[in-house]
Amino acid sequence: MDIHSSNPPSLATQFTYFHSSDTSLQHLKQPTMDNNLLAMLAAAGASLVQLNNTIISIAAAGAAITYLGKMWNTYEPYYGDGGQARYTRFLLNEVRPELFREITRMERSTFNSLVEELKFNRLLKDGRSVCVEEQVLIFLDILCHNNAMRQTAVKFRRGLYTVTRYFGLVLDSLVNIYPNYVKFNMESCIQPDDISKNPRYKAFKNALGAINGVFIPATVPANIQSPWRNRKGFIAQNVLAAVNFNFEFVYVLAGWEGSAHDTRC
């Protein structure tokens, strides 16, 4: 359109002009839309890269944990594997008989008989990772040497909870078979003839033996030690024992606090 012309443009000319102007505006807006699309694609690509890095980090961490776990279990195992722990295997398969007797306070044949008895009566059974033999060895290690459970846990490479649990199970099983093997023998309390028929010992007529109390040192948690402290100043339990005329123990009552009087026991 000629701007110097005195004649105004026609309606068709104006329509064509504005139509062409709209088209030019659309061409001007098109690059802006392309930039938004490119920005979205770039953001999506960055997210994919970040996700890929996260997956790689997780995989690397998993591989590291698996590797460290294998190293721990191979070179410094804390938990055993059901009778195959190093110390247990040493006691069961490699130790000399005299050393086994010193550690467990019993002959190997007696130990085997005890284990078979507990298994036969279904008082103990193999655990997921601890066999009956190791359960009894753990119990004997604590009982025979007055070891703390933490010491035994380190020695057997077991958790403290595992040692505590199996100590209680073995103790309960031995209490169950106690009446089968420990019985009061009345014949052992018969008064010997050199006492019953001796006129000098008339004062001991019908006497079966002698009783006395004794303080035996005890290991008690610190928060409940007060009643266990005896009149001599140390932590102990007051034990009542009876012997016959052959100097054989025929009765023992243990478990009273050290502060308990003899007459109360």
Please give, one letter per residue, the 3-state secondary structure of the chain. Answer: CCCCCCCCCCHHHHHHHHHHHHHHHHHHHHHHHHHHHHHHHHHHHHHHHHHHHHHHHHHHHHHHHHHHHHHHHHHCCCCCCCCCCHHHHHHHHHCCHHHHHHHHCCCHHHHHHHHHHHHHCCCCCCCCCCCHHHHHHHHHHHHHHCCCHHHHHHHHCCCHHHHHHHHHHHHHHHHHHHHHHCCCCHHHHCCCHHHHCCHHHHHHCCCCCEEEEEEEECCCCHHHCHHHECCCCCEEEEEEEEECCCCCEEEEEEEEECCCCCCCC
Q: Residue 10: its pLDDT value, please?
A: 52
For residue 165, what are its two tokens? Answer: 């649990």
Q: What pTM value is reported for the model?
A: 0.54
Domain-ending residue, one of 29, 45, 76: 76
Residue 8 lies in a domain: no
* Type of residue numbered 48: L
pLDDT confidence tier of residue 198, bands split at 50, 70 and 90: confident
Residues with Cβ within 8 Å of residue 100, at least 6 apart in sequence: 91, 107, 108, 111
- Out of 24-33, 55-64, 67-76, the most confident range is 55-64
- 141 vs 61, which has greater pLDDT? 141
Among 22-26, 86-90, 110-114, 196-200, the minimum mean pLDDT is found in: 22-26
Q: Residue 75: its pLDDT value, please?
A: 40
**Do residue 65 and residue 110 come from a single domain?**
no
- In terms of Cα–Cα distance, which of 193, 142, 190, 195 is closest to 166? 142
Domain-ending residue, one of 130, 161, 181: 181
Q: Residue 15: its pLDDT value, please?
A: 45
Residue 90 lies in a domain: yes
Q: How far apart are CA 231 and CA 229, in angstroms?
A: 7
Residue whose tokens read 């807006």: 29
Q: Residue 148: its pLDDT value, please?
A: 92
Q: What does the buried/exposed string (b/e) look like for 155-171 if buried means 16 or more CB atoms within 10 Å of the residue's CB?
A: bbbbeeebbbbbbebbe
Which tens digit of pLDDT belongs to each residue from 92-107? 999 999 999 999 999 9
**What percentage of the chain exceeds 90 in pLDDT?**
41
- In terms of Cα–Cα distance, which of 84, 176, 74 is closest to 131? 84
Residues of the domain holding 121: 86-181
173 pLDDT exceeds 70? Answer: yes
Number of structural domains (the chain) is 3
Residue 6 lies in a domain: no
**Do residue 171 and residue 102 come from a single domain?**
yes
Residue 10 lies in a domain: no
Q: Residue 202: its pLDDT value, please?
A: 85
- CA pseudo-torsion sign 64, 67, 70, 71: negative
Domain-ending residue, one of 76, 95, 111: 76
- 11 vs 240, which has greater pLDDT? 240
pLDDT confidence tier of residue 18, bands split at 50, 70 and 90: very low
Q: Residue 37: its pLDDT value, please?
A: 67
**Do residue 168 and residue 201 come from a single domain?**
no
**Do residue 108 and residue 175 come from a single domain?**
yes
Residue 5 lies in a domain: no
pLDDT confidence tier of residue 191, bands split at 50, 70 and 90: confident
Q: Residue 51: its pLDDT value, please?
A: 73
- Out of 11-20, 22-31, 73-82, 225-234, the most confident range is 225-234
pLDDT, average across residues 148-177:
94
Residue 225 lies in a domain: yes
